[in-house]
Structure 1
Amino acid sequence: MDSFSPALLVFNLLLYLLTYVAATDSLTAQDPYLRDGFSLVSSNGNFELGFFSPGLSRDRYLGIWFKNRRGPTSVWVANRNTPINDSSGVLVMNITTGNLSLYSHDSTTIVWTARLLRKISNGVLQLLDIGNLVLRDGKDENPLNYSWQSFDYPTDTLLPGMKLGWDLRNNINRRLDAWKNPNDPSPGNLSWRMELHEYPESVMWKGSQEYFRHGPWNGVRVSSRPLGIAPILNFNFVSNEDEVYYQYSVPNKSHTVMVVMNQSNYLRIMYLWSPTERQWRLYTSLPRDFCDNYALCGPYGYCDIRVTPSCKCLEGFKPRSADSWTAGEFADGCERNKLMNCGDEVGFAQLNQLKLPDTKRTWVNKSMNLEECKQKCLSNCSCMAYANTNISGSGSGCALWIGDLIDLKLIPDAGQDLYVKMPASELVKRGEAQKTDRLKPKVKISLAAIVASLGLAVLFIGLYIFKKRSTVKDGHEKIEAQDLELPLFDLSLINSATNNFSIDNKLGEGGFGPVYKGKLTNGQDIAVKRLSRSSGQGMNEFKNEVILIAKLQHRNLVKLLGCCIQGEEKMLVYEYMPNKSLDFFIFDRTQRQLLDWSQRYRIICGIARGLLYLHQDSRLRIIHRDLKASNVLLDMDMNPKISDFGLAKTCGGDQTEGQTIKVVGTYGYMAPEYAFDGRFSVKSDAFSYGILLLEIISGKRSRSFCHLNDQNVIAYAWRLWKEGNSEELIDDAIRETCIISEVLRCINISLLCVQQNPDDRPTMSSVVMMLGCEISLSQPKQPGFFIENEAISRKISSSKDKSSSTNELTITLPDPR
């Protein structure tokens, strides 16, 4: 610790205050102090260094942020673990040694100090235009010869030009750690760092558990990245004796981009500044989908987001536990159909479009070609697979995987080839005898085997033709079985599972028929939605739900396991949600006590992420149109899953809205423009989300509510907001244990969602950002109050007039099931 005179500091501070005239980007030997209340500003005016208090906290931190940008703008924090509880902070550059320290409490306590690579005698501390705070010797002719730089010690944000990875010469690990919460920049349990394997790759962690793995760099991109993702960035990877790191740049200088680690299930989020909207826009996030969860399908299993179930075994492998896989538990992974011993005749199956396996146990040689790589793997009994390390051109380099292959994912049109070691007999079954090891005797294929293979081919062709012709008719409507993209359950199995649709198994009544609990022969619980035979509308809902949800995979959407179409029976088979629906808890005086604020907040965030997936990240842009508490189901861990897609609509391309002459939905959740004019959009879903948010916070139904002159929850929440009494909205069941700042933030977000004008409402990407990031919120405008009863009556009456061109209105009252 440097010797330091408080008296000298006070004198210099006074001198500094008297001479400080305009903002500067540097501290020098003449002005070596920066106290709370003053700042450094980069020469281009983009970045500012100074003291700030995050969110609702009163603690003070030294940090760097985007200047004149609303939203999550803090990009670096010095003393994230040691806040200053008053405004006594002062940053001091020692004019003798160059040491950089942060003091508090009358300049007697050091709360943070920089780790210098070398001492300097003529120090200059400068905030660069790229957001990097650097300390250098003012007399050094090389301006890039830094003694210390903030880019070497990132917090939760990666800016263009920053490095994620290792400086091996100086033992500096450049990693990101999410803020604990918007009021506390200390590290949470989410991190992103470079793993120094033989074949390096970056991994995101939740505490000590791997959560998402990017895959190694393949000379073009990380092997997990689909083509077309983040085209606005250029990525670079460096791996040598001195450094191992990822880095990105932004070719278009008009773009302002930052990548942030977020304390949520979306670990990494990239924001793009919109100059026209003057706000940050969510550009992309990771994990992208369900299959990005680390090792989801276990050893030798791979994940394909396009199918259900998503986990599959590699060819030549089978589930290690068939019962577990049938029950939807895939972590045990797969095992070989035939054991492979050292010395057996082997070859390699070429598997395409894969994210490469976990690289913890790999061997790499960058000078080998693919054939040399193959021979190297053949010579090692523990080698299970090989691949090129560089796929550019004709390919080069060699990576061998020793032991089990873990965390595989199918990435159509963008993954790479992986060559998996297989017994020769298994390759013959796959029709790949030509790929067996030519160093061994060739496998002889008998005439009987050829005849048998031809017979199987004829059988499969016959089954395909039969399946193509199989249809299910309902009046003039027809569903082609091959278009369902779902497993088909036999009616006898469903009858047995539900005890012949016993009344004791009935869970409730949905829009197109009853829902029953069932148990399959393997013990898996299911929920069966049975189409009412008398429901004409139900048939349309059934087809719509099958077509839509069969293509969806997200942790916050209910999972469709299959369907049953047999005779007059048409049923959807879902995963069973043991904790029923959200309305069962929040609207019941007893059950609501079981949902504390932390659980409600997690549910709020989960629903937002599910809607974001529907609106932005799914293959089809989907507008739900019937989001409400009874359509949010809760799994065993109280995680929310959006259900009931019978009324959902798709939008093509960049379309975000549409119009219908048939308005369907639930009274109390519909946006005004949809209820009156039939205009639905992502913003009408945002309106429904805002209503749901108010219900979760207040524990009161949106319509069955009366308080003084307030006819609904929106009116009540708006009046309290205008009066500055929003805390009165909070459910008594959570009032004593909730974090008031979080609840008030959620009320603010809900009122933004229910504004009268759809253009004023935020998108769900903005909602996710507001929930998970340090960002200032705008003030809401007048809400779109619910349609009054007499207005609905007029609407229904007009829809019955055959000469009228107004929309047809179908309303569901949100009563308990």
Structure 2
Amino acid sequence: MDTLIPTMKLGVNHKTGHHWLLVSYFTKTLFIPGAFSLEWEPVEQELIIKRRGKVCWKSGKLRNNKFEHIPEDAQGVLKYSIVSNGDEDTFSFTSTNEDPDLQWTLTEIGQISGGEGYVARADLCYGYNNTDGGCQRWQDIPKCRNPGDVFQKMTGFVNYQNVTFEGNISYSYSDCEASCWSNCDCSAFRKLYPNGTGCVFFHWSSAESYTSDSTGISFYLLVNMLTHHKSTKKWTWIGPVAATALLAMCLFTICLALKKRKFVFQEKKRQRMVMKMVHLATCSRSSAMEDIEVDLKTGSGLKLFNYTSVMVATNGFSSENKLGQGGFGPVYKGILPTGQEIAVKRLAKTSGQGIVEFKNELTLICELQHMNLVQLLGCCIDEEERILIYEYLHNKSLDFYLFDCTRGKLLDWKKRFKIIEGISQGLLYLHKYSRLKIIHRDLKASNILLDKNMNPKISDFGMARIFTQESVSNTNRIVGTHGYMSPEYMMEGVFSTKSDVYSFGVLLLEIVSGRRSLGCYGDDRPLNLIGHTWELWKDGASLELVDSSTKESFDPDEVQRCIHIGLLCVQHYADDRPTMFDIVSMLTNKSAIVSLPERPAFYVGRKIIHDQLSSKDFCTNSTVEITTSTIDMTDS
């Protein structure tokens, strides 16, 4: 809320922990939380305005029902009420003339308007400015700025030869102003988008770079308002006064230090403990931000999104925008101001995946470019929030269709074979042709996304690993999804490109059958898809595996070839499985496949109890997925 009316409170309820404050809108047309907030500071008992969490304006003390830094005419009809007890610390006001229209409104640029004038002008509070009532001088002022430097609104025609653009929609007027002030090369700025977001920064060396004209564009030019014609007489007394003040300060500091000397050791010890705890609590996020900033500076193509812009794009992570839920967390659809549709993957607080997986996906996928891999556009880190921004794919994930009796009919055999080929091409790129050789480690139906033409794109690289020429690695932390993990990985922690081949084989059999790998398959049959397929293969009845919804469209030779390849991929020993290069060749080459599959891994010989499970379990409308699991194999 950006408006305070009579009797409304600012402050805190100590019992519930609830805070009352005003928050500005982002721009005049974007009604989402903006940069400024008006709050009640109970210790000093004064009003404060914060910009991005930092205090930039203070009202000063309340004396005789008047705040020191609020104009007299803005307080004439107001009566303030301050409550400070064990229940709450609050501020409110009422009108002595009972004006029903009286209110304070916090604008998008930090002004508080009330009645005919301004209550506060935090839009003037930046840099050196501590002369306008209540303004707090910035602590981190660049050396290139001087007292008297202010941004002045100009209208005219400008030279666009030396400019930079900040297209981030999370930048409002005040963000552009602060960014230009802190950049010594910046001389002026203006908004980029019609809705008031984004920035255009001008880097001029002289006033000849623009021409004043009332018919031109509006921009904000940095000028120095101090005159240079002040009497030199004042410097004759400023020097001695400054020296005297400095000497007094030094003496005072020495006395204070001597007085508190006995407390120094304890205080330093306490500070070291506090700093250590702060470091432990924040080191993962800080290192993540540093890594991401390095990636951005080295030209990775990644964009660092502001949390506010993500909120705008997803309509505040509304349920209407939610696309689904994965092991990482919820995924939302979003729309950028440019009209581009995006998919926003937000790390859930309860997710088993953390900053390691987040950084891993970020650093790996930005190096990968292939039509069958999902495109990562950027990321967002804000306090505890970790968010990945992807291209939006209109047809969701493969499991959305594959394991549903109704939606599965939309996948005829031609589309399924096209999906199989696309996944194989994407994996071949990862294993053989990408600049970084990648093992995905979590290939499954829910991690295959489909574009508007039903082309597959492999996603979710949080578990992926770079491998060397030896192409075999070992880990004590087993991550993946049951039913897709190879035996050597699940039992020994050994993974290689053949681990992905095994997962591909399971996925291929799921696409052919329309059934989950961990399911129940008929009376007197094994309990999993691999075992069911193996027995049909041995009986010469492989085509019985085919999803009934594709029976009128499938090519028997292609289906037989796919089942053959799938069984080769899920063989127990990794060395017996083909490479992705071999698999792509077998899928595209119509010649006979020479090698025959051996007994597959995880062949389950248990029988299903007849009166509990039947062939009705072949297909289900449930889209619940077997969740990603983590097994820690470190010695205790």
Q: TM-score, with normalisation over the residues of structure 2?
A: 0.50
Task: Flag the structure with higher strand content.
Answer: 1
Larger radius of gyration: 2
How high is the TM-score relative to the length of structure 1? 0.39
